[in-house]
């Protein structure tokens, strides 16, 4: 399955056009926060360095199991096209992110609800930022995909146009965890906070089980999606006021007073 970011992100922005037209969560705000994101590597703190070290070490550790995991999963492909596996794959596609961002953005526009505007805005931001990181690493690393039947240690750095060498990290898993993290961070109920990650976990499993990615590709993609989604939501949380719950689609989100 080809993983492309540019066209899906244009679709996401199209969905969010009404949202960006508002004073809050607007294009100027998006531009200013994007600049903060670009400058972020220059302002890393102790916790950031620790997280970076843990993700790097974890990815290298999981790489040691890439071949055995693939071999074990390929021995039983009965569920390759089953509903849970396909549902996981779909959650990692661009259009669920675009549709969900659009639904929240449209609700925020029609109901003049800052809470749902915020969620739509954050979904777009997290998808764009995490997608940019993932795309850069894919091209720079040039790791071969498992379905090519090459070794997991085969790399062709700075491969721009050959998708067979765009395995690390998984774009589907990045996008899935980006979306799930924003939804989880905005959920009021602990059950919903945890439940928001279930489809993202299915995405990680599906990408490995369907032989499109190594286990370490999924691990790194999940980490990128999670940390970028957390950074985006935390950025807005700093200015949040007390909240009360509202049930929506049926996610319980928070209304700013």
Q: What domains does the chain contain, in order, with CATH numbers?
A: 6-256 (1.20.144)
Instruction: Please give the pLDDT value at position 25.
Output: 87
Kindly report the number of other CB atoms within 10 A of residue 210's CB atom. 21
My answer on whether omega of the bond before 169 falls inside 30° of 0, hence cis, is yes
Residue that is written with structure tokens 């240690």 in the block = 153
Instruction: Please give the pLDDT value at position 6.
Output: 43
Instruction: Please give the pLDDT value at position 202.
Output: 98
Instruction: Please give the pLDDT value at position 23.
Output: 59
Residue pair 108/117 in contact by the 8 Å Cβ criterion: yes
CA distance 173 to 248: 25
pLDDT tens series, the chain, 257 aa:
444 444 444 444 444 444 444 458 888 999 999 999 999 999 999 999 999 999 999 999 999 999 999 999 999 999 999 999 999 999 999 999 999 999 999 999 899 899 999 999 999 999 999 999 999 999 999 999 999 999 999 999 999 999 999 999 999 999 999 999 999 999 999 999 999 999 999 999 999 999 999 999 999 999 999 999 999 999 998 755 333 333 333 443 443 32
Its pTM stands at 0.86
């Amino acid at each position: 399955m080809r993983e492309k970011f540019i066209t899906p992100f244009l679709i996401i922005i199209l969905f969010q056009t009404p949202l960006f037209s508002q004073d809050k969560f607007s294009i100027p705000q998006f531009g200013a926060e994007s600049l903060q994101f670009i400058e972020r590597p220059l302002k890393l703190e102790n916790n950031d360095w620790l997280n970076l070290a843990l993700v790097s070490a974890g990815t290298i550790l999981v790489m040691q199991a890439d071949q055995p995991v693939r071999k074990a999963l390929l021995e039983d492909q009965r569920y390759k096209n089953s509903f849970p596996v396909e549902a996981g794959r779909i959650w990692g596609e661009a259009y669920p992110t675009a549709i969900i961002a659009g639904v929240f953005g449209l609700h925020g526009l029609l109901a003049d609800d800052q809470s749902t505007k915020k969620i739509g805005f954050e979904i777009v931001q997290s998808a764009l930022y995490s997608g940019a990181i993932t795309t850069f690493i894919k091209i720079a690393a040039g790791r071969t995909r498992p379905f090519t039947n090459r070794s997991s240690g085969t790399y062709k750095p700075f491969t721009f146009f050959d998708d067979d060498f765009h395995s690390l990290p998984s774009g589907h898993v990045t996008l899935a965890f980006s979306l799930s993290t924003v939804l989880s961070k905005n959920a009021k109920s602990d059950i919903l906070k945890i439940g928001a990650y279930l489809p993202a976990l299915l995405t990680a499993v599906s990408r490995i089980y369907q032989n499109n990615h190594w286990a370490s590709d999924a691990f790194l993609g999940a980490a990128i999606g999670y940390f970028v989604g957390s950074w985006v939501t935390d950025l807005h949380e700093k200015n949040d006021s007390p909240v009360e719950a509202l049930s929506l689609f049926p996610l319980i989100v928070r209304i700013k007073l």
